[in-house]
Structure 1
Amino acid sequence: MSVSPVWNSSSRRVLFLFVLAGLTCSGPIARADDEAADTEFVATKAGAAKPAFLDKMIREAWDAASIKPSKDCTDEEYLRRAYLDVLGRIPTVEEATSFLHSKEKGKRAKLVEYLLKHEDFAKDFANQWTVILTGRKRQERMVLRGELTSWLRQQINADRPWNEIAFDLITAKGSNKENGAVNFPISHLEMEAVPLTSVTTRVFLGQQIQCTQCHDHPSNDWKQADFWGINAFYKGLKFREVRKPDASGAEVIDHLELTDEPTDAFASFDKRNGLMGVAFPRFLDGRKISQATDVDRRVELGKFITDPKNENFSQAFVNRMWGHFLGRGFVNPVDDFGAHNPASHPELLAALGKDFAASGHDIKTLIRWIMNSQAYHLSSMMTKGNEKDETLFSHMALKPMVPEQLFDSLLTATAAHKTEGAANLDRQRDQWLGQFVFAFGNDEGEEGTSFNGTIPQALMMMNGNLMERAVGGKPGSFLDDLKVRAVSQRKMAPPIFMVNNLFLAALSRYPTRGEMTAASAVLTSNPDTVYVLEDLFWALLNSNEFILNH
């Protein structure tokens, strides 16, 4: 490979992109030149791995369809997959080398335990569920998303079961500043709580009853009265603005206060025949409550939804978690249960839901089951026998990073937030996510939820301010630190050391022989080595391999 030393940065960046896209895997290079890792991933003894029926039922579905599953994924694939799914970011170089160099038996199960005890697990879970509960868009009303995220993080750190967390979200009241859970109902409290009715059943029960708001559903058993029967539980739910003087003495909104006022317990709605309908509080299974004004209707709704006997509640969470880790739920979309949209593995979903409820709705236990399952360990490389399979989990689905994962992974890889003059991290994060919501909403004005590689997205990644700061090699950045470490590693070949670390930082793996040969050739034939490293890092961070979770 001949490389001209006079190529500019843009030319090199394009070259690296084409090289990375065209190289075939020729095996990892020798790793003797790499630094010894000092990060210990084994933190605790692994818990109960999984119910015995889980793998058995998955295999039975493969056999019934005459499908042969893909091979197990490599340690590199599993490492990056696990970090993104549990911590919402890729591993650091130290974390990657610690796991990849380990020869300990059962290290994948032990990695799961390490991740579940990591402080970033609660952080990522809280961020995920803030998006699920309130969306990404900034609202005109004073919805304190940060307080909701903080509240969710506290619940996860305290190992509270899912049924208790859900109950507190459904019944939350008081100040949205002091009780972060209040921000969930307040964010949907308009139009007589119609949006709140819809999101509550979708999130906690997997039921899209909003289709029946105006008429009976044509393809399943839900009726218009079912929607308004749930809506009636929210009658009397009000919020008010609480104002306080700021530093200048001006009265400003300090927080919102949510209360349940005694009112008549019914919802009225227009039928398609022009008549007026009336619905009293009634749960989807037909259970009713007293019509007295002293009954806290939201508390009763919370009891109905989180009742241990309510299979829909447990199965909805199991399905959503399975979808998060495997790329697709047993029911897909994950919040659209019903006869019109049958589950791919109904018996398995029912069994997992039952065991999840029996575990006390323990979130970490469910995650252990999923991450230790055979399906989760499969490679994303399809075979001739399973390339058309979309529902039986015979190979791992390719999952684009969501915007939050992409932002946090860029910071993990590059330490851009630690460079001189870097903006406040929270503000930087808000600006980044705001770009995604603004640039990638669909025609209906809804929010984009993943980085799917469109041209506008690719251009924003390649040319955005965050990317330029990420690969600029400024003091405090990963590249700057790497250069310092390279000087101290005099006995090592600098190109090999640098390229190894760039691949580990961006892709959580070592380069193949072909990749090392190509990168080293560019490095050794260019006088401006620092800029070549920046260009290689830029190409790695803009590759499909970085954006996709395998």
Structure 2
Amino acid sequence: MRKLLCSGALLGLAALSYSAPPPSKSTLAFSGGEKAIALSGAYASARVLIEENGRDVTGDVKLALGNPSLAVLKDGTLWPRKDGATVLTATRNGQILMIPVTVTGLAGAKPPRFRSDVMPLLTRYGCNQGGCHGAQQGKGGFKLSLQGYDPDADYESITRAAAGRRVSPAQPENSLLLRKPTMLVSHKGGQLFEAGSPAHKLLADWIAAGMPKPLPEEPDVTGLEIVPAVRTLSVGQKQRFRVWASFSDKTRRDVSAESLFSVSDGSVAQVTLDGNAKIVGKGEGAILIRYQDRVATASLLSPFAAPRAPQTQPTTVDRLIENKLAALGLDTSPNCSDADFLRRVSLDLIGLLPTPGEARAFLTDTDPQKRTKLVGRLLERPEYVDYWTLKWGDLLRSNRNVLGDKGLTALNRWIRNSVAANKPWNAMARELLLAQGSVYDDGPANYFRAASTPDALTETTSQVFLGVRIACAKCHNHPYEKWKQHQYYQFAAFFSRVKTKNGEAPDEKIIYTTKSGETTHPRTGKVMTPTALDGAPLPKEFTGDRRLAFADWLTDAKNPFFAKVLVNRLWKHFMGQGLIDPVDDVRVTNPPTNPALLDWLAADFVNHGYDLKHTMRTILSTRAYQRTAFPTKINVADTRYFSHYFFKRLDAEPLLDAVGSATGVLEKFGGYPAGMRATELPDTTAGSYFLDLFGRPARNIVCQCERLEAPNLGQLLHFMNGKGINQKLSAKDGRIAKLIEAKTPDDKLVQELYLASLTRLPDQDELFDGVMSLREAKDKRQEVEDILWALLNSKEFLFNH
């Protein structure tokens, strides 16, 4: 296997084979501080990355090999030709950098290996991607497994399918596997490489050697290292990357030329097939690198303005946010007003607008600790229990259509009691995952009714508690993550002994476990050993409830997913944007915008006993949460780093309740008592055109995406012309009718409307305009309705800010 040789020995070999002029003093450096390049093996390669003062200048240097017969140098990458030693010289602006190069292992070299050499090449050139032969049905009668997750099947497809016509061992150069990608034969995928190129040679040598099969002893990839891992650049600047792979046989080699590169955010950076990135916008972009079944990322920062020194902050959360903002050159918006804070935190914690009386009391309170005390009071209100029962009901699919009336009641009661008691999140998870008995008596048992098969439980549990969308791995290795198909079924094996039977009552189900039942791999038929993601296999001698072993792993303080996904959900709720977004799509290729902050929040959550209220208080006490939503000239483009508060459209239920609160007329839901708010509904089946229009979820899936957050034209038209809004405005027992009946002075009436809808008093201009419109109105009642209608249709009402 190819290895790096001692740089001292390389310098000695190079001196014997090549004599170069003494170099001038240089600030040029080879990537990663390395001193030499070693090409070990016939199919090795090495990417050249020359830097000056931390900046990639490879494209600006002149590269020359002292002995070109030893290696091919093309587009900044070296491939071996024959054994020997030479020097690669890099010249720029009179500076010279000399890099010793050795080539070994070509004499008597073994043929390419299918899994370690051929498969990465097919992935690198896109042959096994979803848009090509990796599609479900393949392309042109030729099918490969998606991104090479099944090497054995791919080997058969290449060498045996279609009567073996794709390869010709007697005349390798005539093989379709070579002629199509070089466009000697028509190929819809276009030309991928040239005849005689290193890729062409590798495939030709493999075919000529009789197409060796994939071997079980071929080493597995154990890790990827990206150089550089982080780099700060300006718009227009470029950066190339080197990718090093570590293997199970303790070897390490440059796999840059065999890796697949893409980007997470094309508005910040773009990257070529060869791994050459260019900054095209401001912000932070992740370069995604895949090699075999491993993925890794490199981070490119493009500051919005000149980076600055971080300023002192009062909390750890604010300090970690400030560090990121300073690196990106972002300033921060000032503190929000008391009125904005009162409205914001009330909607976020209890899903309700403050009453005018509550608003007046808070706005006139001079206590410097009033914001902290307000949070404490809201956390103890019964409406907090209502609202967070709704939130966790979404996540746990509290749905009468699936659970039935009694099952829904049992699950909803358990959620409410858990929220009211501030039950630790790890305790809630364990009660759900270990539940058994009647779904009518034991609320958590309904978790196994909403997801009733091992596969459904695998996907639900992974997404709810780990934030991992593992469903893709059911059919093939995950295309955007490291999870393999066998890991999906190892996960499912934890639930293979969970069974359901009928109870005594109609539609009653009993959840129980058995001592037998296995999960098998659908492709190999192999019985799978229960194994958590990145966890150790369950010991063979384990005879208890497998779910207990899983719950122990899940709620272990060292679990890399459990605490992070919950604090990220809370962060998204309060801040409008997750540190990882979407919140239930945690993967290497979707990195957090502030990893240090996410790590700290998760550790703090664990250290405080998985106390949900503690983490809520932690977030709500930060400067980041209490900033105004209005950006500065510098941070106006920030949508990810929390330099200002982000506007959030109210969810369906709080919005409908806000309309009811502002107008003084609550919605009436069929089958429920008068006065019940939308945030109190036990599930989402109550008939309501408004709630459906504004995106309430059906609770059929656990994905956060089921609740629709984006505004649309239908919502706008409903507020402008909808029958329900107008009826509330003109109701005989509504707020407007009561204000008119009480003969409220015009200025007080306008103030009351603003407090009821926007939780603030009107400014002088707004108050003057409102009073004058009332005095000049022919129909005062109609004019009052028009004022409140205008307030309800404002962005200030429709959004939390």
Q: Is the 8 A contact 1:399 1:548 kept in 2?
A: yes
CA distance in 1 between counterparts of 2:608 and 2:620 reads: 17
For residues 139-178 of structure 1, the aligned pairs below 5 Å read 139-142=401-404, 144-178=407-441
| Residue 216, structure 1, aligned to residue 477, structure 2 | yes
**Which residue is 1:345 aligned to?**
594
Secondary structure, aligned partner of 1:376: coil
Q: What corresponds to 2:64 in structure 1?
A: none
1:504-527 residue CA offsets vs partner (Å, 9 max, x unmatched): 111111122232233223322223
User: Could you tell me which residue of structure 2 aligns to residue 23 of structure 1?
Assistant: none
- How far is 1:127 from its partner? 0.6
* 1:106 paired to 2:375: no
CA distance in 2, matches of 1:210, 1:421: 37
1:121 matched residue in structure 2: 384
Of 449-458 and 118-127, deviating more is: 449-458
Q: Contact (CA 8 Å) 1:206, 1:337: kept in 2 or not?
A: yes
- CA distance in structure 2 between the partners assigned to 1:418 and 1:456 by the alignment: 19
Distance change >3 Å, CA 202–CA 84, structure 1 → 2:
same
| Counterpart position of 2:579 | 330
Which structure 2 residues correspond to residues 427-446 of structure 1 after superposition, within 5 A?
A: 430-431=685-686, 436-437=691-692
Q: Identify if the C-alpha distance between structure 1 residues 112 and 439 changes in structure 2 by more than 3 Å, giving closer, same or farther.
A: closer
Instruction: Kindly state the Cα deviation for residue 424 of structure 1 after the two structures are TM-superposed.
Output: 3.2
Q: What is the letter of the counterpart of residue 268 of structure 1? A: T
Q: Contact 1:416/1:466 (CA < 8 Å) preserved in 2?
A: no
Q: Percent of aligned pairs with the same residue? A: 31
Q: Residue 226 of structure 1 contacts residue 284 of structure 1 at CA under 8 Å; is this kept in 2?
A: yes
CA displacement at 1:219 relative to structure 2: 2.9
Matches within 5 A, 1:61-76: 61-76=324-339
2:535 — aligned with what? 286
Question: Match for 2:730 among 464, 472, 483?
Answer: 472
Residue 181 (structure 1) aligns with: 444
Structure-1 separation of matches of 2:667 and 2:471: 45
d(CA) in 2 for partners of 1:511 and 1:372?
27
1:527 & 1:423 partners in 2: Cα distance? Answer: 40
Give the C-alpha shift of residue 74 in structure 1: 1.1
> Is 1:532 equivalent to 2:532 in the alignment?
no
Tell me how far apart the structure 2 counterparts of residues 459 and 196 of structure 1 sit (CA, whole Å): 41
Cα separation, 2, equivalents of 1:193 and 1:421 = 37
Q: In the superposition, relative to structure 1, how do residues 51 and 257 fare at CA in structure 2: closer, same or farther (>3 Å)?
A: farther
Q: Aligned-pair distance for 1:359?
A: 0.6
For 1:289 and 1:99, the matched residues in 2 are separated by 56
Q: Give me the whole-angstrom Cα distance separating, in 2, the residues matched to 1:420 and 1:281.
A: 46
Gap change, CA 1:422 and 1:310, over 3 Å in 2: closer
2:288 maps to which residue?
Answer: none
The one-character-per-residue Cα deviations of 1:264-286 (angstroms, maximum 9, x if unpaired) are 2x312433xxx445422111123
Cα distance in 1 for residues equivalent to 2:320 and 2:589: 23
Equivalent position amino acid for 2:736 in 1: L
Distance 1:548 1:56, change over 3 A: same
Range with greater deviation from structure 2 (401-410 or 72-81): 401-410
Letter in 1 for 2:612: I
- Structure 1: how far apart are the matches of 2:774 and 2:670? 29
1:35-71 deviation digits (Å, cap 9, x = unpaired): xxxxxxxxxxxxxxx9942211111111111110111
Question: What do residues 123-179 of structure 1 show as CA deviations (whole Å, max 9, x unaligned)?
Answer: 2111101012217x7635527444323311211211221110111122222222322
Q: Distance in 2 between matches of 1:216 and 1:338?
A: 14
Q: Which residue in 2 is equivalent to 1:503?
A: 754
Relative distance call for 1:197 and 1:378 in structure 2 (3 A) is same
Q: CA deviation at 1:292?
A: 6.9
Q: Mapping of 1:55-454 within 5 angstroms?
A: 55-134=318-397, 139-142=401-404, 144-189=407-452, 192-242=453-503, 244=505, 252-253=506-507, 255-264=508-517, 266-271=518-523, 275-290=524-539, 295-417=544-666, 424-425=673-674, 430-431=685-686, 436-437=691-692, 448-454=706-712
- Structure richer in helix, relative to its length: 1
**How big is the shift at 1:410?**
2.3
Q: Is the 8 A contact 2:379 2:613 kept in 1?
A: yes
Q: CA deviation at 1:293?
A: 8.8
CA distance change for structure 1 residues 450 and 514 in 2, over 3 Å: closer, same or farther? farther
- Contact 1:316–1:334 (CA under 8 A) maintained in structure 2: yes
**Distance between the aligned counterparts of 2:668 and 2:417, measured in 1?**
30
CA RMSD of aligned residues (A): 2.9
CA distance in 2, matches of 1:398, 1:450: 15
Mapped partners of 2:603, 2:775: distance in 1:
60
Identify which range, 520-529 or 308-317, moves more after superposition.
520-529
Q: Is the 8 A contact 1:160 1:362 kept in 2?
A: yes
Structure 1 residues 117 and 140: alpha-carbon distance in aligned structure 2, compared to 1, 3 A threshold: closer
Q: Is the 8 A contact 1:263 1:293 kept in 2?
A: no
Which whole-Å CA distance do the structure 2 matches of 1:319 and 1:507 have between them?
29
Paired AA for residue 506 in structure 1: S
Q: Residue 769 of structure 2 is aligned with which of 518, 533, 548?
A: 518
Is contact 2:652–2:694 with CA below 8 Å preserved after alignment? no
TM-score under structure 2 length normalisation: 0.56
Pick closer, same or farther for the CA change 1:285–1:383 going to 2, 3 Å: same
Q: Distance in 1 between matches of 2:360 and 2:341?
A: 13
Does the residue aligned with 1:267 lie in a helix, a strand or coil? Answer: coil
Amino acid of the structure 2 residue aligned with 1:449: R
The 3 A distance-change label for structure 1 pair 180 and 465 is: farther
Higher strand share: 2
**Alpha-carbon distance between aligned partners in 2 of 1:418 and 1:208, rounded to the nearest angstrom:** 37
Secondary structure of the residue that 1:404 maps to in structure 2? helix
Q: Structure 1's 154 and 139: CA in aligned 2 closer, same or farther, altered over 3 A?
A: same
Report which structure shows greater RCO (CA 8 Å, sep ≥6). Answer: 1
- CA distance in structure 1 between the partners assigned to 2:677 and 2:318 by the alignment: 44
Contact kept, 8 Å, 1:204 with 1:316, in 2: the verdict is yes
Does structure 1 retain, via aligned residues, the 8 Å contact 2:696–2:708?
no
Supply the distance in 1 between the matched residues of 2:797 and 2:732 (Cα, whole angstroms): 22
In structure 2, the CA distance between the partners of 1:121 and 1:101, relative to structure 1 (3 Å rule), is: same
Following the alignment from structure 2 to structure 1, what is the Cα–Cα distance between the partners of residues 359 and 409?
31
Deviation sequence 1:379-432 (CA, Å, 0-9, x none): 111112111222211011111111121122223323323899997355976545
Structure 1, residues 303-330: CA drift from partner, whole Å, max 9, x if none? 2111122132111111111111111111
Amino acid at match of 1:200: T
Preserved contact between residue 657 and residue 666 of structure 2 (Cα < 8 Å): no
SS at match of 2:396: helix
Q: Secondary structure at the match of 2:666?
A: helix
Q: Which residue of 2 aligns with 1:10?
A: none
